[in-house]
């Protein structure tokens, strides 16, 4: 069981803004861990995800990039609980990165601004156990398993910095804002088990915006 973790914070995210870019400062937290990660659902989600992840990695090892396995080994994740942020950052420091918690969806420019400062945003939420295989919205499980391992690869890190640097050089248009809001709303509706009709309309709206983006990309 989870005994030796630091006590979870109370109230809203506590901010530590030292040496960080200014765009994303309202979104980040360096709290060690969040209550959602150590309650009954959080423990069950992590343990079940761990079990399924090990099965997947064994079955698909030949199709997975070696950099992913090297990153997983470096992270040294435990099978019984989410890692704390200090544990993650102790390891990331060796490759010049750190992480911070963010409240799920954040605007693309705030995301890029954090990356520019070599700070990876980890969603602080935890999916319900019923969504263990596919979360309706960004959450810690996805970011820890899916993104953190690749930060240990220098080529990937350089590419990520290059892409996000280009994002910050482009002018923000209304379409970018609309896409962000549409994706955020779709995740919220999925998590709240909205009706089929409401979900269809949300998907239709997002598809419409993405079609516009493909035909008239912002420069």
Per-position pLDDT tens, the chain of length 219:
332 333 434 344 444 434 554 566 677 888 999 899 999 999 999 999 999 999 999 999 999 999 999 999 999 999 999 999 999 999 999 999 999 999 888 888 888 989 999 999 999 989 999 989 888 788 999 999 999 999 999 999 999 999 999 888 887 778 888 888 888 888 778 777 789 899 899 889 989 988 988 887 655
Tell me, what's the pLDDT at 149?
Answer: 97
- The rounded distance, in Å, linking the Cα atoms of 10 and 62 is 44
Tell me, what's the pLDDT at 172?
Answer: 73
Tell me, what's the pLDDT at 176?
Answer: 81
Assigned token pair, 55: 């099965």
Question: pTM for the complete prediction?
Answer: 0.79
The string of DSSP codes covering 127-187 is --GGGTTS-SS--HHHIIIIIGGGGG-HHHHHHHHHHHHHHHHSPP-HHHHHHHHHHHHHH
CA distances from 159 to 24, 30, 147, 171, 209 (A): 21, 25, 14, 21, 27
CA distances from 12 to 27, 29, 75 (A): 11, 9, 27
- The rounded distance, in Å, linking the Cα atoms of 196 and 210 is 21
Tell me, what's the pLDDT at 218?
Answer: 58
* Region class of 122: left (phi > 0), else alpha (psi between -120 and 50), else beta: beta
> CA nearest 84: which of 104, 97, 100?
100
Residues of the chain with pLDDT > 90: what percent?
52
Q: What are the tens digits of pLDDT across the range 85-136?
A: 999 999 999 999 999 999 888 888 888 989 999 999 999 989 999 989 888 7
């Amino acid at each position: 069981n989870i005994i030796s973790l630091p006590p979870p914070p109370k109230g809203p995210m506590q901010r530590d803004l030292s040496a960080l870019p200014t765009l994303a400062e309202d979104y980040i937290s360096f709290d060690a861990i969040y209550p959602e990660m150590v309650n009954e659902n959080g423990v069950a989600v992590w343990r079940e995800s761990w079990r399924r992840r090990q099965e997947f990695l064994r079955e698909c090892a030949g199709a997975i990039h070696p950099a992913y396995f090297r990153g997983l080994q470096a992270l040294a994740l435990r099978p019984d609980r989410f890692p704390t942020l200090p544990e993650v950052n102790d390891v990331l420091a060796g490759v010049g990165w750190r992480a911070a918690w963010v409240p799920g969806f954040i605007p693309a420019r705030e995301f890029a601004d954090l990356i520019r400062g070599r700070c990876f945003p980890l969603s602080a939420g935890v999916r319900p156990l019923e969504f263990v295989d596919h979360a309706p919205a960004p959450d810690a499980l996805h970011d820890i398993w899916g993104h953190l391992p690749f930060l240990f690869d220098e080529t990937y890190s350089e590419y990520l910095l290059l892409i996000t640097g280009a994002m910050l050089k482009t002018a923000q248009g209304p379409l970018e804002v609309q896409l962000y809001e549409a994706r955020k709303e779709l995740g919220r509706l999925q998590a709240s088990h909205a009706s089929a009709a409401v979900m269809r309309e949300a998907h239709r709206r997002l598809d419409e915006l993405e079609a516009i983006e493909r035909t008239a990309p912002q420069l």
